[in-house]
Structure formats: C-alpha cells, structure tokens
Amino acid sequence: MPFLGFWEKLPRPFFALAPMADVTDTVFRQVIAQHGRPDVFWTEFVACDGLCSEGRSALIRDLQYTEGERPIVAQIFGANPDTFYETARLVVELGFDGVDINMGCPDKSVMKQGAGASLMKTPELAQSIIRATQAGVRDSNRMIPVSVKTRAGYLKDKLDEWLPKILETEPALITLHARTKKEMSTTPAHWDWVARAVEMARGSGTLIVGNGDVKDLADARMKATQTGANGIMLGRAVFGNPWLFNRDGFVPSLEDKLRAMVEHTEFFEQKWGNTKNFQMMKKHYQAYVNGFDGAKALRVQLMDCETAGEVRAIAENFLKDRE
C-alpha cells in the first residue's frame, strides 16, 4: 500500500493550490496564507537536472518556503531517474512534507527534454522515475509521500491505459488535470474523467485529486461530491483573489483588492530585490485590477511601474479620487 504521510490527516475533500510556474513562489503562497489558506500548498516546479548540477544555487530559491505554508509539497520535473533519486533526497533534506512529480506540463521546452507531458508517451520511463523518487525518499532519514500530477493522455484520452501504469508504482496521490496535452487549457475540463480515475484507483490506497476549471470552493465541493475525488486543486481562479480558499464567506471590496495587490508587490520587492524581474508582478496587476470603473486606466498606470513605492502611490491616489 502507498505511504500517505500527511495526506492521511487532511479533511475529505481537501483543497489545494495548484503549482504554477512564475506564479506560486513563496511570496504568493504567503499572501494566500494570510487571506485564506488551502489545505496544502505546492511549489513551482523545479528541474531535477538543474538541482543536480552547478546551477543548484540559482534554482533552489524556487524551493524556498516558510513554516506558515505547511503542509507543502515540492514539485519536480525531468526525464532522468538518477536525478530524480538525488532530488528526492534533497527535498527530504529541505524539510518538505511531500514530493510531487510533474507528468503533465505541456510546455514545449519541458517536453523537449522528455519531461512533463512527454512522459505519457514513455510509461516505462515514467514508472522508473516514480520508483527512483520513492527510493530516494526511502534512502533518506525521513519518509515523505511521493505523488504525481498528470493528464488523461497526450493526444487523446488514454486514461484507461495510462493511469494503471502509474497506480502500479503505488504513489500516495495522483492529481488528474482533466484534459489531454493536446487540449492544453483551451477546452472545458472533462470531470467525468476524474470520476473514472476515482473508480480505477478504488482499493489501491492511492488518493485522487481533480483539477481543471474549478471556479471557487463551492464549485470544488460540488465537483468532489460528483466525482468522489479525495481532493480538488484550484489554479487560475486564485489570480487577483487571495481569498479564494477563505471559508468564512468573506467578499473583498475594491479597496481590499488594491491593498492586497500593494502588499503583494511590497513583499515581492522585499523578498527578491533584483534577483527576480519586477515585470513578473504585472500579470498579477491584470488580475487584481478589473471589473470596475476606471480599471483599464489604472492598469495602464501600473504597467509602467518599476517599484513597489510607485504601485502604492498609484493605488492610494486612485482610492482617494474615488472617495
């Protein structure tokens, strides 16, 4: 039976924040935790090959986290079982609660390495990678659960062939993004596929998490009920809405949103300084600032900002003018 670790103690269904590259860093996760935390956080995905090379010092910043973000799972990707073994040992050493293998990313640069969604085309290699990661954990000084995030197939639905291959390796958990690689995120998620995955995993001990087009917690609870999934992962819905996982029914005002945006920016600047490009914050401004009179003009101003101080001044002036 799979080793579940902390997963065993979570409520059912549990709700998770999806790993998103250049989005869900420790700064963003801490902003989320302040306003309404999920039951579990994931890191951005990090390359095993890079972590096992001289480039480790640059990449390891993507594995930074705080105690307030627990339980937290490190997501990793690659195509070499040997570097998965070494990375699993590093993840344990860094104190993570779990390690997750990305087998669903459709990014061309990732797939060119034979990683991410490409692993659905090489199931034997995928199994070797999972087993190497499990071995790396076993050979460390502390057991943590190993999980997999994937899709239903590469060009078309191959769930009936693909999922059993993963289940054979006894992972703690499988997150199913209910689309194929070919569909990217352009077609509606197939939640009946999640229900199928739940049936296929029944009796195995492996937990199933559904992912794709989840709008909010109410929608997540409904999808968990309909599919029988143990948990639901939410991703894009969190943009501009750090209250997404808030269980108290809090509805943020425009002022709440702009103040959260300013705090997010200031925290980003304090944490990363010149080590991360300030332009990365601009995608968040597009999400925080929409759906109200004057939003477009405000976004235009924010897109020209280069410092957190400028963002604060523009936001405060906007709110003052509205008064």
Cβ atoms of 69 and 30 closer than 8 Å: yes
Could you tell me how far CA 188 lies from the centroid of its own chain? 19
| Closest alpha carbon to 237 in 10, 32, 25 | 32
For residue 99, give the 3-state DSSP assignment: strand
The interaxial angle of helices 159-167 and 123-138, nearest 10 deg, is 20
Q: Of 48, 52, 105, 305, which one is the catalytic site residue?
A: 105
Cβ atoms of 75 and 62 closer than 8 Å: no
Distance CA 137, CA 262 (A): 40
> Under 8 Å CB-to-CB from 212, ≥6 apart: which residues?
177, 178, 179, 185, 189, 190, 191
Cβ atoms of 81 and 129 closer than 8 Å: yes
H or E element, residue 224: helix 217-227
Active site residue 105: yes
Residues annotated as part of the active site: 105
